[in-house]
């Protein structure tokens, strides 16, 4: 475009090409014959979707690897569109991409508005305690001190269990206080805890027991998308041949794919 000496014919062809491309960009991208699956993801949510500075700053993560494996199973390419969480569903609705791969929790409110694939992650709350602790159930939390982000849902769970909450900035600080003996327990999502244990090698703390009901995370698509059934089929194959378990164990040290 920086070259200004073009013939009228060349400009006409270029204009036609741009017009055709613009028409193509307005499609919803859900055509089963498409060679590309357009994926919306944050790119800032480790270990699920983030840029690894130690590997050339490439986009990677659990969710990234799972959707790439799905696309490979379907014989397609992946085109990622990095989007802030607050805008990610609007982007899906506006057909900027075909599917969201970003640990979207399945709930009735979302199911009314979007299609969901079969889950590729199942998570639950867990209690983290010093290794070998004799605290073994939610009933044992009454009267203990739990390190939690003050406004988090885990702080509410701790209070409901009868524990006193010690406010912290995040999970790393909570573990530090736990190891120092300044608090008795911390509650968090098992995926966050497994990621910490897997990457840190910390053996001073452990997951002691589960708290609350499991939740399921799945790919979100527009309602009645033909891609939903295709992705489900690919996920089933990847589950049966062990690929999902392999990806999961690489990121979390165990299979959390359900």
**pLDDT tens-digit profile of 151-178?**
888 999 999 999 999 999 999 999 999 9
Distance CA 130, CA 32 (A): 51
* Torsion angle, alpha carbons of 28, 33, 35, 36, to 10: 30
- Of 12-21, 52-61, 220-229, which range is least confident? 12-21
pLDDT-derived band at 3, boundaries 50, 70, 90: very low
* pLDDT given at position 33: 53
* pLDDT given at position 55: 86
Could you tell me the residue ranges of all domains in the chain?
A: 31-122+215-252, 124-214
- Of 12-21, 37-46, 212-221, which range is least confident? 12-21
Q: 124-214: same fold as 31-122+215-252? A: yes
Flag whether the pTM goes above 0.85.
no
* pLDDT given at position 32: 54
Taking CA atoms, 42 is separated from 148, 191, 253, in Å, by: 25, 17, 23
The tokens of 87 are what?
Answer: 């805008």
pLDDT-derived band at 17, boundaries 50, 70, 90: very low
As a whole number, mean pLDDT of residues 11-19 equals 36
* pLDDT given at position 104: 96
What DSSP string describes the chain? -------HHHHHHHHHHHHHHHHHHTS-S--TT-SEEEEEE-SEETTTEEEEGGGTTEEESHHHHHHHHHHHHTT-EEEEEE--HHHHHHHHHTTS-SEEEEEEEP-HHHHHHEEE-S-SEEEEEEEEEETT-S--SGGGGTT-EEEEETTSHHHHHHHHTTPEEEEESSHHHHHHHHHTTSSSBEEEEHHHHHHHHHHH---SEEEEEEEEEEEEEEEEEETT-THHHHHHHHHHHHHHTTHHHHHHHHHHSS----
- CATH assignment of 124-214? 3.40.190.10
* pLDDT given at position 23: 40
As a whole number, mean pLDDT of residues 110-127 equals 98
* pLDDT given at position 34: 78
- Of 8-22, 56-70, 87-101, 206-220, which range is least confident? 8-22
The tokens of 127 are what?
Answer: 């209690």
The DSSP bridge pattern shows strands 186-189 and 121-130 to be antiparallel
**pLDDT higher at 25 or 226:** 226
* pLDDT given at position 150: 85
Q: Which residues touch 145 (CB under 8 Å, ≥6 apart)? A: 163, 164, 165, 166, 183, 184, 185
pLDDT digits (tens, 9 = 90+) for 191-242: 999 999 999 999 999 999 999 889 999 999 999 999 999 999 999 999 999 9
The tokens of 30 are what?
Answer: 């859900």
- CATH assignment of 31-122+215-252? 3.40.190.10
């Amino acid at each position: 475009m920086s070259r200004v000496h073009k013939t009228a014919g060349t400009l006409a062809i270029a204009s036609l090409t741009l017009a055709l491309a613009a028409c193509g960009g307005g499609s919803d991208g859900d055509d089963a014959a498409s060679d590309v699956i357009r994926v919306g993801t944050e790119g800032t949510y480790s270990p699920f979707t983030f840029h690894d500075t130690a590997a050339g700053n490439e986009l990677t993560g659990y969710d990234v690897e799972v959707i790439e494996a799905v696309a490979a199973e379907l014989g397609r390419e992946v085109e990622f569109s990095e989007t802030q969480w607050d805008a990610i569903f609007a982007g899906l609705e506006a057909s900027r991409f075909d599917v969201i791969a970003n640990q979207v929790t399945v709930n009735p409110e979302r199911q009314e508005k979007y299609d969901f694939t079969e889950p590729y992650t199942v998570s639950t709350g867990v209690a983290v305690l010093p290794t070998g602790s004799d605290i073994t159930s939610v009933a044992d939390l009454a009267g203990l001190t739990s390190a939690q982000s003050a406004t988090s849902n885990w702080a509410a769970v701790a209070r409901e269990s009868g524990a006193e909450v010690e406010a912290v900035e995040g999970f790393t600080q909570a573990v530090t206080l736990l190891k120092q003996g300044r608090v008795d327990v911390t509650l968090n999502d098992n995926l966050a805890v497994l990621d910490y244990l897997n990457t840190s090698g910390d053996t001073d703390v452990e997951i002691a027991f589960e708290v609350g009901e499991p939740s399921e995370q799945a790919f979100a698509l527009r309602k009645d998308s033909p891609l939903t059934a295709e992705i489900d089929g690919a996920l089933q194959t990847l589950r049966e041949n062990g690929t999902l378990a392999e990806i999961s164990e690489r990121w979390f040290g165990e299979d959390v794919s359900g």
